[in-house]
Amino acid sequence: MVSPTGEVRRVADAVLRRIIDGAYPAGLRLPAEAALAEQLACGRSTVREALRYLAGLGLVRSRRGSGAMVLDFRREGTPALLPTYLRTGKFDAPPARIAREMLRLRALMATEAVRLAALYATPETLQQARTHLSDAPALENDPAAHALNELELYRALVMASGMWPATWMVNAFWAPLGEVNRMFAPAMGPVNPDFQSTMTRLLDLIAQRDQSGAVQLAGRWFETVDARLVQVIELVLGTKADQTEPEGTD
């Protein structure tokens, strides 16, 4: 899902914040478009586009003639909700826990991409992943671009396996993960100097159909890099959470 920009994004974020804050609880019928437009100082068409975006995130359900109803975002949300949820700073769990579990899920998906590629990829289908790896050194001075390229490398591994249902599921996560990467990139610091050699070895193991060796190497890699990243993400999330505290809160 493409994230909106400009006024639509402002209005969508305002409604989303009210949902996550509990001002608009699950089951509530939202105010009519005209009322929301007046409250948020925008046009009705902007409200309509914002609600359409929020419906795609699993936050509201609109029905012709009956308006939009708020859904339980915790149960109905989609992966596309992740970047916006993290931006709000309203968390049900400590930032450290969120950081650890986010990284664990990301490692699980990437390791599964490695496993599938080691089982089913061919030298020809692995070429796109090798291309992403060859592009990586030129991006080392741009951590955000480097992180996005690494995401594309793992996505290329899933595609190389030819397991298209797995590719479709990965596609649902890729745009949100890319946006999350851009959010955290300024705090990530320099690229790990072992990245190129480790990923080269990983692709070689995959090409050799060494599933066990490739999965073990991927696991060790994520244990190493995530030990630092969890601190970065915790710091960023903690800052966002602090910024949402009302004035006068200790």
In a domain, 249, yes or no: no
How many domains, in total, are found in the chain?
2
Alpha carbons 173 and 248: distance in angstroms, whole number: 38
Looking at the fold, whether 56 and 163 belong to one and the same domain comes out as no
DSSP-derived pairing of the beta strands 67-70 and 60-63:
antiparallel
Q: What is the pTM of this model?
A: 0.81
Q: Given pLDDT bands bounded at 50, 70 and 90, which one contains residue 247?
A: very low
pLDDT value of residue 88? 78
Q: Which CATH number is 55's domain given?
A: 1.10.10.10
Domain final residue pick, 38, 59, 77? 77
Looking at the fold, whether 105 and 200 belong to one and the same domain comes out as yes
Looking at the fold, whether 91 and 202 belong to one and the same domain comes out as yes
Domain final residue pick, 77, 94, 120? 77
The predicted model gives 67-86 an average pLDDT of 87
In a domain, 250, yes or no: no
Q: Given pLDDT bands bounded at 50, 70 and 90, which one contains residue 57?
A: confident
Looking at the fold, whether 134 and 191 belong to one and the same domain comes out as yes
- pLDDT above 70: percentage of residues in the chain: 96
94: closest CA among 241, 231, 202? 241
The predicted model gives 149-165 an average pLDDT of 96
Domain, as residue range, for 56: 6-77
Q: Which residues contact 132 (CB under 8 A, 6 or more apart)?
A: 149, 150, 152, 153, 156
In a domain, 154, yes or no: yes
Alpha carbons 158 and 181: distance in angstroms, whole number: 20
pLDDT value of residue 244? 63
Looking at the fold, whether 41 and 153 belong to one and the same domain comes out as no
Looking at the fold, whether 88 and 54 belong to one and the same domain comes out as no
Which of 46-55, 96-105, 151-160, 183-192 is predicted least confidently? 183-192
Looking at the fold, whether 30 and 135 belong to one and the same domain comes out as no
Q: Which residue has the tokens 């959470």?
A: 241
Looking at the fold, whether 70 and 156 belong to one and the same domain comes out as no
Domain final residue pick, 46, 77, 108? 77
Report residue 213 as tokens.
């060796």
In a domain, 188, yes or no: yes
Q: Which CATH number is 98's domain given?
A: 1.20.120.530
